[in-house]
Amino acid sequence: MKLDFDGRDVVVTGATGELGEAVARLLVEAGATVHSGRARVAGGIDLSDEGSVARFYAGLPPLWASIHAAGGFAASGIEGTSLADLRRMLDMNAVTAFLCTREAIKNMRGRGGRIVNVAAQPGVEPRRGSGMSAYTASKAAVAALTLSLAEEVASDGIWVNAVVPSIMDTAANRKAMPKADHSKWPKLDEVAATIAFLASPQNAATRAALVPVYGKS
C-alpha cells in the first residue's frame, strides 16, 4: 500500500534518535511536512515540561498526525533503582507521551487526525521487564494512556494507537548486546513502516491498538 501524506503536517518527537529519524525520513518521502520535536538537545525543547510542549504545539499549523518516538531506557535491579530513577523513566516516556498527545489532540479537534505513541514489549508483557522495573512501568503507562485516550477522542475522528517493539536492531542495542542474535530483532525500517501506516490517511479504521512489532524475538 502506498502511503500518501501530501500536504499534511506531522510532528515526530525524538527525530534525532534512530527510530525517530527513520520515521521522519519515511514520512518526508511520502510527502509529509515533518515538524521535529527534538527533546533535550541544543535548540530543542524539554518534552517533559508542560509549558514548553504547549508552546511548541501552539506554534504549529493544523496537524494531520503526531508521532511520539522520544523516550529513554534504563535497566537495573529493584534494589539499585532509586525513586529518582523511576521518576526519570516516567518523565522520559510517560510524561512526554501524555503532554504531546494532549497538545496534539487540542490541535486536531474538529478535523480528525492520527496519534502514534511508542510503548515497548515489557510495558504490555511485564514479566519481560525483569531487571528494568522503572522502564517497564513507564512504558506500561504509555500503553494505558494510548488505550484510554483512543476511546475518549474516537468520536472526533482522532485515531490513537501505539507500536510495541521488542528490542530493536539499532547500533546502540548491538553495541550493548554484541552476543545476541541480532537477526531476530525487528529492524528500524520495519518499525518505522508500521508507525507510518498507523499515522497515515490510509489507516481508515485502526484505533485503540497496541501493535506488536517483535520480529522473530
| Model pLDDT for residues 2-23, shown as the tens digit of each residue | 999 999 999 999 988 999 999 9
Show which residues are catalytic.
135
| Model pLDDT for residues 81-124, shown as the tens digit of each residue | 999 999 999 999 999 999 999 999 999 999 999 999 999 999 99
Does the pLDDT value for residue 43 go beyond 70?
A: no
pTM of the model: 0.95
What ranges do the domains of the chain cover? 9-213
The SS3 of residue 192 is helix
CATH hierarchy code of domain 9-213: 3.40.50.720
Distances from the Cα of 52 to the Cα of 6, 45, 46, 123, 196, angstroms: 28, 6, 6, 27, 26
Q: What is the pLDDT of residue 77?
A: 96
First-to-last alpha carbon distance for the chain, in angstroms, is 26
| Model pLDDT for residues 131-178, shown as the tens digit of each residue | 999 999 999 999 999 999 999 999 999 999 999 999 988 888 888 889
Max intra-chain CA distance, the chain: 51
What radius of gyration, in Å, describes the C-alpha atoms of the chain?
A: 16
